[in-house]
Amino acid sequence: MEDNTTINQMPRIGDQAPDFTASTTTGPLKLSEYNKDNWVILFSHPADFTPVCTTEMSAFAVDQQFFDERNTKLLGLSIDSIHSHLAWVNNVKEKTGVYFQFPIIADLDMKVSQLYGMLHDKESSTAAVRAVFFIDPKGTIRLMMYYPLNVGRNMEEIKRALIALQTADECNCALPINWTPGEKAIVPPPKTLAEMDERIKNTEYEMVDFYLAKKDI
């Protein structure tokens, strides 16, 4: 029996973000150029003119300054036309005063959705799930989130995750569960006996044991 199942390979953390050129609400966009020298958060929504999507896109727009201050560009996507996007953006602006100034990809041919594993057949074969990709200035995928069609994303967690990724890069450290700015970071564990002995003697760290030490950042 012939198997006609289509497998959409998802990018993985650490992969180079698949490049593409797409039509958006701000004009043609090539990801590798848009991503140059800054972070990008690429996020999909199932459809324009739907309630949960409107709340999510509005939240991104309201927090635009937060992302600007952290050298991060926003990039939305759904399997809708440019005309639908423009009408929706205008409708939300008229009704709520919130303006989606970031580009939104019109992915009618589903090429980008398939490239990023946003189509999950058990949810929908024609609407993208609520995916979020954090892409660093080197074009590397650093974090991914996937939500089903009926559950909206947590904007506070998206913002926390971005700060955490950038902080971990800056301090060359790891961050513990529920970490928020101002809290201590985890020092990478020692890899040799000499490093372990040095760690045990160190009085600057908050030590649980030699393998679990925290420091101020």
Of 22, 53, 89, 128, catalytic? 53
Look-up: residue for tokens 């009618």? 108
CA–CA dist 153, 56 (Å, integer): 7
- Provide CB contacts within 8 A for 203, sequence distance 6+: none
Q: Please confirm, yes or no, whether 53 is among the known catalytic residues.
A: yes
Which amino acid is located at 128 in the chain? A
* Chain centroid offset of residue 156 CA: 12
Q: Catalytic site residues?
A: 53
